[in-house]
Amino acid sequence: MIPFASVLWSEWTSGHRPIRVPEPRETLEGEAQVAAYLKGYEWGGATSALTNHHLRRLAALIRPNDTVVDLGCGPGPLLWELARLYPTARFLAVERSSRMMEQIRKKARDLNLNNVHTAEEDVRELPSLRPGSVGVVISTQALHHAGSEEDLRRTFRRVNDVLAPDGGVYFFDFGLLKAAATRRLLVQELARWAPPLTVRDYALSLDAAFPVQTVASLAREEIRRPFALTASAFVDFFYFLETPPRAAPDAALVARLRQKGGALPWRSRWELALLRRLRRSISEAPPN
């Protein structure tokens, strides 16, 4: 469990926010690294509350026949849950990691999910996508992999290009924390259950996160449609960037999501409640 009191104290007593340190590389390629990532994001584990929260929010964005693009998808459970919930939608997993793409294709075959496709492409370019062809673009814990602010800007600009006029976005990622002590506390907490390689990647990700206000500024300039950006309360640990609802989930879908949330362990249900409540508004961008 995250030591909230210690995290708050170290952030509130810290000085200026540090300069972000980009990750050594933007993709996961080593076999052991990919395997550790897969293990860390299995359904039922420590990330399940967050995955369930994503599913609930995305239920207001995804329509049955949409094309949904997952940028920097990784091998996590979100893609598989979405593909099962929306069998008539087309899901495109975008990654530059060839090993990760192999894992995605294998998993799709194992689960018999014919609506999951892959594109080994740069998220700043997305050459296979036509302008205005995408219903929803999602990205969870991947935008911090961008090498620079300009790379993040190019990603946002390309996302805006490929979205349909009524398309939506859903982004979630880390924010750059002020104190090195805070990041050490969070890494130590993860180390209690995660493999060492996952812990190392997490530490690098926290150092590579963009300041939340930087994300807000770049998104406001490049994503030319209304959106809201919210961050974790008290400290900039994470943020959500979401466009307004564009779908009305049916009763069966709502019931299934509620059932999945109710089946989580008590600790995950508690974390889910915190995710829903401990957020503050950072930016509300009007239509451009």
pLDDT digits (tens, 9 = 90+) for 182-241: 999 999 988 887 778 778 888 999 999 999 999 999 999 999 999 999 999 989 999 999
Rg over CA atoms, the chain: 18
Mean pLDDT computed over 142-150? 95
For the chain, what is the mean pLDDT?
87
Give the contacts of 112 (CB within 8 A, at least 6 positions apart): none
Of 202, 97, 218, the C-alpha closest to 152 is 218
Of 164, 177, 283, 154, the C-alpha closest to 229 is 283
Counting DSSP H helices and E strands in the chain, the numbers are 11, 8
Domains of the chain, earliest start first = 29-285 (3.40.50.150)
Is pLDDT larger for residue 265 or for residue 179?
Answer: 179
Q: Which two tokens stand for residue 4?
A: 């909230």
Give the contacts of 50 (CB within 8 A, at least 6 positions apart): 172, 271, 275
CA end-to-end span of the chain: 41
Task: Report yes or no on whether pTM surpasses 0.85.
Answer: yes
* DSSP β-bridge partners for residue 280: 231
For residue 170, what pLDDT is reported? 98
Give the contacts of 126 (CB within 8 A, at least 6 positions apart): 69, 94, 119, 158, 162
Q: What 8-state DSSP symbol labels residue 137?
A: E
Mean pLDDT computed over 74-91? 89
Is pLDDT larger for residue 25 or for residue 254?
Answer: 254
For helices 48-58 and 251-262, the axis angle rounded to 10 degrees is: 170
Of 226, 285, 265, 287, the C-alpha closest to 46 is 265
Tell me the one-letter amino acid at 136.
Answer: V
* DSSP β-bridge partners for residue 92: 69, 117
